[in-house]
Amino acid sequence: MAVEIQIKEDTVRAYLSGELDHHSAVGIREKIDESVMQSKPQQLILDFAMVTFMDSSGIGLVMGRFRLMQEMGGKVILQNLPAPIRKVMKLAGLDKLAEFL
Amino acid sequence: MKASNTMRLCFDSRSANESFARTAVAAFLCGLDPTVEELTDVKTAVSEAVTNCIVHGYREKIDKVYITANIYSDNRIVIKIKDKGCGIADVKKAMEPLFTTAPEEERAGLGFAVMESLMDKVKVFSQPGKGTTVTLEKQIVSKGEDYVHNSRS
């Protein structure tokens, strides 16, 4: 699992790739949070185009980032969700917390 | 009904093995010629159950996780995921959506909800101090049979 982060103006974009599970979520979370805490963006975009597997650890990751962005008055946008990942996200009701693109 | 194919796994409760466990079960399941969606559903449910053994059953201490999987001739797979960890005092409560005993780890508390939504049956047997066994069951609609069925109609 890898994450590539791009910071531009008031937006942090995190491009996730590989398998997102309990094992890989910790490192990804730390990298995203470091960028968010440094640049205090208005929006955090999580891109799932290259994510090949995700279990409920991914839900925890999104919920945690949602709380973090909410504290800073910003929002979370989920982008390019492959169908199986969208299914798990919706199951958790994340479409009510974050914007889906 | 007697199983037509069986397998057994035993591995260390290291988080790095979550990927190994779900991939191994998925490879075994391939004998039933599942659709990509069915394969992903089973992989996700196994990943949830194995993560529970590691995070909750053994509380990150290294011990053993056991998986047995049986395939039956009616295209059913039954997977048992077992730990000999702390067990669950109140299984009903543990299965409630959003309930978690590890919020600091950002566990969403949705593991059982995900398993129940992706599998046909989820059973939990647990004894405090002795461990937990989660049984997952799913009927696989074989692509081959589906094709034959569709071409007949």
Q: What is the pLDDT of residue B144?
A: 55
The CATH number of whichever domain residue A51 belongs to comes to: 3.30.750.24
Range of lowest pLDDT (A41-45, B30-34, B83-87): B30-34
- Number of domains forming the structure of chain A: 1
- From residue B69, alpha-carbon distances to A15, A27, A55, A99, B16 in Å are 35, 31, 20, 39, 21
Question: Over chain A (101 residues), what is each successive 10-residue block's mean pLDDT?
Answer: 95 98 95 96 97 96 94 95 93 84 84
Q: Does B47 touch chain A (CB under 8 A)?
A: yes
Residue B151 has pLDDT above 70, yes or no: no
Q: What is the pLDDT of residue B145?
A: 54
Residue B45 has pLDDT above 60, yes or no: yes
- The DSSP code sequence of A8-77 is ETTEEEEEEEEEESHHHHHHHHHHHHHHHHHH--SEEEEEEEEEEEE-HHHHHHHHHHHHHHHHTT-EEE
Measure A61 CA to nearest chain B CA, in Å.
Answer: 7
Nearest CB to B47: which of A21, A60, A61?
A21
Q: What is the mean pLDDT of residues B65-71?
A: 98
| Amino acid at site B111 | G
Q: What is the pLDDT of residue B147?
A: 46
Residue B99 has pLDDT above 90, yes or no: no
Cα–Cα distance between A90 and A59 in angstroms, integer?
10
Measure B14 CA to nearest chain A CA, in Å.
Answer: 9
Which domain does A80 fall in, by range? 2-100
Question: What share of chain B in percent tops pLDDT 70?
Answer: 91
Determine the distance from the C-alpha atom of residue A58 to the mean position of all C-alpha atoms in its chain, rounded to a whole number: 8
Residue B6 has pLDDT above 60, yes or no: yes
Cα–Cα distance between A37 and A14 in angstroms, integer?
14
Among 3.30.565.10, 3.90.180.10, 3.30.465.10, 3.80.10.10, what is the CATH number of B3-152?
Answer: 3.30.565.10
Q: Are A49 and A2 in contact (CB under 8 A)?
A: no
Q: What is the pLDDT of residue B148?
A: 47
Q: What is the mean pLDDT of residues B66-93?
A: 96
Q: What is the mean pLDDT of residues B12-37?
A: 96
Contacts of A61 in chain B (CB under 8 A): 106
**Domain map of chain B by residue range?**
3-152
